[in-house]
Structures are given as structure tokens and as C-alpha cells.
Amino acid sequence: MSTPRELTAAALEELVKLARLARERAYAPYSQFRVGAALLAGGQAFSGANVENASYGLTVCAERTAAMAAVSAGLRQFEVLVVVTGGTEPSPPCGACLQVLAEFGQGMTVVLAGPHGVHGSYRLEQLLPYAFTLDRERGPDE
Ligand code: THU
């Protein structure tokens, strides 16, 4: 697997570690599907875990937890996101998370990792090639 161009191998390893640590703090009593995310923005790292709720629809994904932390700290240019899940298969961010990530980093790198290593690395546009933006909001007749 190639290293995303923004990152040294050591920096990527740090983000993976951070995401694994966040995954350990996931609150997933309903699905038992624990996710950890670590986001690099402005040279700073932010992490997040999925937080479920007895009212299932209120669950927040790990990626969005990390994204909210970064934006709340004033960082709006996302560079790299590492997502750590369990098992042997990579698990990309869900569609809702991809749309939220696109708001702050159309060109960002998304790295999918598991308990024992990195599965693959993608550009956000590969995972969400036609993100919604308000640029298309107004047509000529409005
Ligand atoms: N989940 C994430 O944290 N990220 C995703 O991109 C997809 C799903 C969480 C939500 C829920 O707690 C569990 O995984 C099962 O859907």
C-alpha cells in the first residue's frame, strides 16, 4: 500500500494508533460494530468513535465525531482520515459521513485500516464522486 502523499509512514502509523485507541472507546452496545477514526487537519489530529443510542437513529458514526471535533477546534481543511474497524474486510465511511467529509476536504485521503494493518487508501472523490454542493442550487430561471 502506498502512503498518502501528505504523510510520512510514521505520521500515518500515529494516526492509525489514534484511531485504534478511539475504537476502544466506541459505544456500540447495540450493533457491537466498533469504529475508530482519526482525522488530520492543519497538522493537528482529531479522533472519534461511534456513539450509539437506545433510540437507534441518534447514533453518530466515528467519522462524524472526529469531523465535529476538528471543525469545533477551528480546522476546516481536512487532509487525511483513518478509519479503523474490526475483522479482515475494509469498511469505508457511510454515505452520510462521506457527504460531511466532502464539505471540508474534497481532495482528502481516506485510509481504511483494521486491527492488524492498513487495507487501502482512497481519495474522497473515489468514494463519493458526485457530492452534493449548493453550487448547483440556482438555475437560470430563478
Ligand atoms: N458506523 C460508523 O461509525 N461509521 C460508518 O461510516 C458506518 C457505521 C457505526 C454506526 C453504528 O454504531 C455501527 O457502525 C453500525 O452501523
Which member of 13, 14, 52, 63 is catalytic? 63
How far is C-alpha 54 from the geometric centre of its chain's CA atoms? 23
Q: Evaluate whether 48 touches 67 at the Cβ level (below 8 Å).
A: yes
Is the CB of 114 inside a 6 Å radius of any atom of ligand 1?
no
Q: Evaluate whether 61 touches 47 at the Cβ level (below 8 Å).
A: no
Does residue 32 have a pLDDT over 60? Answer: yes
Annotation marks residue 63 as catalytic? yes
> Selecting from 3.40.140.10, 3.30.450.40, 1.10.3210.10, 3.40.1080.10, what CATH number does the domain 1-62+109-116 have?
3.40.140.10
**pTM for this structure?**
0.93
Tell me how far the alpha carbon of residue 141 lies from the centroid of ligand 1, in angstroms. 41
Q: How many CB atoms lie within 10 A of CB 110?
A: 26
Distance from C-alpha of 110 to C-alpha of 126, rounded to nearest angstrom: 10
Does residue 142 have a pLDDT over 70? Answer: no
Tell me how far the alpha carbon of residue 139 lies from the centroid of ligand 1, in angstroms. 36
* pLDDT band at 137; cut points 50, 70, 90: low
| C-alpha grid cell, residue 22 | 478511539
